[in-house]
Amino acid sequence: MAASLAARIEDEFGIVPELIGGGGGIFELTINDTVVFSHRGSSSQIPTDERLLQEIRKYLDGLS
């Protein structure tokens, strides 16, 4: 799943993501040291690829 999401991020945004392994249910998406999405300590499921792509779009739109 992570590799396919990384490929989609690169294709859609021209960003080459760095995947960093974690543990304990922690999942964070950061761009330029800004946390765009955090699943730290949440009891909900890991977000879908579409949700993460939406969060990236929202972040990048805010830069315009």
Higher-pLDDT residue of 14, 3: 14
* pLDDT confidence of residue 43: 63
* pLDDT confidence of residue 22: 75
* pLDDT confidence of residue 61: 92
**31, β-bridge pairs:** 34
**Residue whose C-alpha is closest to residue 27's, from 55, 7, 8:** 55
Q: With 90 as the cut, is the pLDDT of residue 9 above it? A: yes
Query: What is the number of domains present in the chain?
Result: 1
Range of the domain at 24: 2-63
* pLDDT confidence of residue 1: 62
User: How does pLDDT run across 23-59, given as a tens digit for each residue?
Assistant: 777 788 889 889 998 887 666 677 889 999 999 999 9
